[in-house]
C-alpha cells in the first residue's frame, strides 16, 4: 500500500525582483500511520538570490525530494503559478531549470496539486510561510527554524 502524504509548502524572496534578494523555501510533510498516529517534519532550502516564483517551485521540490519512497501526495501551496503550471493551465516561459528539478522530484509520486489562499488562516501554510521567510532572512536552514515550523 502506498503511503499518503500531505505536503504544505511555501517560498519567500525578501527583496523580490531586486539584485540583493534573498530567498528561502520550506515545507511541512505529514503522514498518518495505520494506527492513526501522525508524523510531521519540516524541510527547507536557502536559495540565495532568487525570485519568489523560483522559491515557490523549490519549496515543492525540497518536499518531494525528502520522500524516501513513492507516495500518494497531496501538495498544498499558495502559489497559483506552481499549481496552474503543473495542471497545464500556464505555460513554462521561464525558470526552466527549476521546473526540470520539480519534474524529477515529482516523477516517482502521484501528486495532487492544490492551491490555498496565502495568509488566510491556514495554520500549517502560515508556519511554512514563516519558516521560508526566516530561512531567507538567516541565509541558511537551521534546525531551530525547522523545529519551530512543526511545533
Catalytic residues: 10-11, 56, 78, 119, 129
96-106 vs 52-65: helix crossing angle, rounded to 10: 20
Phi, psi of 133 (to 5 degrees): -65, -40
* Residues 7, 40: Cα–Cα separation, whole Å: 10
What gap in Å lies between CA 79 and CA 61, rounded to an integer?
Answer: 13
- What pairs with residue 74 in β-bridges? 6, 112
Amino acid at each position: 500500500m502506498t503511503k499518503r502524504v500531505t505536503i504544505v509548502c511555501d517560498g519567500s524572496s525578501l527583496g523580490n525582483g531586486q539584485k540583493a534578494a534573498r530567498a528561502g523555501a520550506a515545507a511541512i510533510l505529514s503522514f498518518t500511520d495505520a494506527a492513526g498516529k501522525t508524523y510531521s517534519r519540516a524541510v527547507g532550502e536557502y536559495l540565495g538570490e532568487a525570485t519568489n516564483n523560483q522559491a515557490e517551485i523549490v519549496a515543492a521540490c525540497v518536499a518531494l525530494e525528502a520522500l524516501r519512497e513513492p507516495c500518494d501526495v497531496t501538495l498544498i501551496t499558495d502559489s497559483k503559478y506552481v499549481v496552474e503550471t503543473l495542471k497545464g493551465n500556464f505555460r513554462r516561459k521561464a525558470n526552466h531549470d527549476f521546473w526540470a528539478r520539480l519534474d524529477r522530484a515529482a516523477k516517482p509520486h502521484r501528486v495532487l496539486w492544490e492551491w490555498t489562499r496565502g495568509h488566510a488562516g491556514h495554520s500549517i501554510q502560515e508556519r511554512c510561510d514563516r519558516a521560508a521567510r526566516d530561512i531567507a532572512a538567516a541565509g541558511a536552514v537551521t534546525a531551530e527554524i525547522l523545529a519551530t515550523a512543526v511545533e
